[in-house]
Amino acid sequence: TSRIEKMMGDSGSVRAVNNTELLHHVDAPCIKVEKTQHFLRTHGRLLFLVRGPPGMGKGIVVDELEQLYPNSRSYWSDKLFTSPMAPERNKETMHKSHVLCASKIEGFMQNNVPVIINKSTNVMVWEIEPYLKLASKYAYTVILIDMPNYVALYPKNLTAANNKGLNETYFINRVKQWEQVHPFATGWSPRPEDAARLLERFRQLRLVLLKKRCSLDRKSVVDTCVFPFCLARLCLFGRTKVDKDYCCSEQVKKAYGRSDTLRVFGYAIAQGFVFAMVELSDDQALLTTGPDGIGCGHRADSDLFAGWMRTWEEVPCTVDIAKFTTEGGGGSRQEDWLRRDDKRIKLKDTPLSRITFMPLGSLDGTKYTYTGAVAAPWRLLSSKLHFWITQSAAGKVCAKTVAGIDVYGSRIEGVVLLVDLAVEMDVVFTGYYQPYTTAGSRLNLPQTRNQYLRRVSRHTCAQKGYMSSWDASVAAEPGDHVATRHALITARACDRRRWEMWRKGNVAHCNSEILVDI
């Protein structure tokens, strides 16, 4: 017999449904679309994060994923409490379970498990942050699967459905805490092997052109620890209404988690970064434009982007994608999935709005980051593309053909475009996820505010300069790191702005007036 879960009926009462009915309500191409499933089975580095309060049927979704993806491994925080020798559930053991879960997931990634599944509750951004950090570090493509939210509108039904003894108050609080998780950018994730083969092709072209005495930067590509991700649009974690509306738009929801095909037509170098150049279809190009009408190449010009880059740090990828083309280097198979088109695009006939890129690495002397690649280098390359397209359309010759490669270049600005024979590449549309914080998560994050500050000694705070004025006469002795009854900040004693100033280390705006007794 099938497993039974509790869900909402049309009248608002609790009723039992079978697995098939529950899966029907889960909007996930990785479960429903056979073509997408076929691609994802061959991707090689996937992390499925199934989100939702207890009692919503996450276990059914995980069971289905495990059947569809036989080489997968799964782990979640509550697994600690399912063993015969399970400890009592309390704050200490709950913390231990989350630490253990993150450790298990990291172990899977270090062992190159092709598909990893996690079904921890992950209601808030801070809860899912450790997994986003690991995925960024080990180059795992993240696909979020949010459980149907109409069930969560009725906490009493979740209380009836869960088997962990959690009361209705718990579910009321958890439902209120629900947060959407938005990415830094949307776009298309290829197989790491395919990205590695594109990098290999660029290196081949570079050697050929250098032998022909073509004017190329003679520096080698040395930094290839890259999370391969083709940009659709920067959305900066949904910080603005426009970005949030884009992330929640029907066109993005429909495309999310679904496989597709991109056409790579060449390669480029700009400000020390190396790019694979991609021609988009009309439907794909629609995903690069938000409600504001601004496309992927212009978001990095905004003041919001510049300000965000000053206060946020990207988690760098530590996996060298070049290894995926070497024998035993972690790839799922030594098969070339790229399909040659045997056609070369005509730049003059290609609108700039249908061109995007995928960073492949950086040259010697340039530190690689994805955020660095999508900023000034892409803006410069976009401006040169616009110039070459308009000049070519006007009948002017902007390129020379060397060894069968159309070479566009600007010696002064150090920008080079190589138009090669096109290849088709399989991808999945998803987000470029990175850890970040939200106002709600800051208010609920453990180890912050009171919980954290109770453990911070006055002496430690004075040493680190968190306060502009501190009563040194009553400070703890040097080396005393025992929590005192005074804390630097508490949730009730300061407003959000002062809390932010303290969190960012801005001592001048965080004064002693907000010291209180706990």
In angstroms, the CA 2 to CA 7 distance is 15
In angstroms, the CA 23 to CA 19 distance is 6
What tokens appear for 25 in the block?
């309500």
In this predicted structure, what is the pLDDT of residue 165? 58
Verify that 259 and 404 share a domain, yes or no. Answer: yes
In this predicted structure, what is the pLDDT of residue 38? 97
Distances (CA, A) of 25 to 61, 149, 150, 408, 514: 11, 10, 10, 50, 49
What tokens appear for 460 in the block?
């430690």
51 contacts 36 by C-beta, under 8 angstroms: no
Residue 437 covered by a domain = no
Top-confidence residue, 486 or 83: 83
What tokens appear for 56 in the block?
């919503």
Verify that 131 and 76 share a domain, yes or no. Answer: yes
Verify that 237 and 369 share a domain, yes or no. Answer: yes
Q: How many CB atoms lie within 10 A of CB 466?
A: 17
Verify that 409 and 280 share a domain, yes or no. Answer: yes
What's 90's domain CATH number?
3.40.50.300
Verify that 344 and 470 share a domain, yes or no. Answer: no
In this predicted structure, what is the pLDDT of residue 163? 57
Verify that 386 and 471 share a domain, yes or no. Answer: no
- Last residue in a domain, options 177, 207, 229: 177
Residue 404 covered by a domain = yes
Residue 439 covered by a domain = no
What tokens appear for 383 in the block?
């401006």
In angstroms, the CA 269 to CA 139 distance is 23
In this predicted structure, what is the pLDDT of residue 114? 97
Host domain of residue 373: 185-432
- Render pLDDT for 233-275 as a digit per residue (tens, 0 to 9): 999 999 899 999 999 999 999 999 999 999 999 999 999 999 9
Verify that 45 and 103 share a domain, yes or no. Answer: yes
Q: Taking the mean position of all CA atoms in its chain, how far away is CA 217?
A: 31
326 contacts 356 by C-beta, under 8 angstroms: no
The reported pTM is 0.80
pLDDT greater than 80 at residue 463: no
What tokens appear for 165 in the block?
């003894």
Residue 438 covered by a domain = no
In this predicted structure, what is the pLDDT of residue 156? 56
Verify that 216 and 316 share a domain, yes or no. Answer: yes
Residue 441 covered by a domain = no
Residue 442 covered by a domain = no
In this predicted structure, what is the pLDDT of residue 168? 66
Distances (CA, A) of 64 to 7, 24, 50, 58: 18, 12, 12, 10
- Last residue in a domain, options 159, 177, 195: 177
How many domains does the chain contain in total?
3
pLDDT band (50, 70, 90) for residue 22? confident
Verify that 27 and 172 share a domain, yes or no. Answer: yes
Mean pLDDT, the chain, whole residue set? 78
Strands 115-118 and 72-74: parallel
- Render pLDDT for 350-403 as a digit per residue (tens, 0 to 9): 999 999 999 999 998 899 999 999 988 999 999 999 999 999 988 898 888 888
pLDDT band (50, 70, 90) for residue 423? very high
Verify that 229 and 122 share a domain, yes or no. Answer: no
468 contacts 512 by C-beta, under 8 angstroms: yes
Residue 298 covered by a domain = yes
In this predicted structure, what is the pLDDT of residue 380? 92
- Last residue in a domain, options 177, 201, 216: 177
Segment 144-158 mean pLDDT: 66
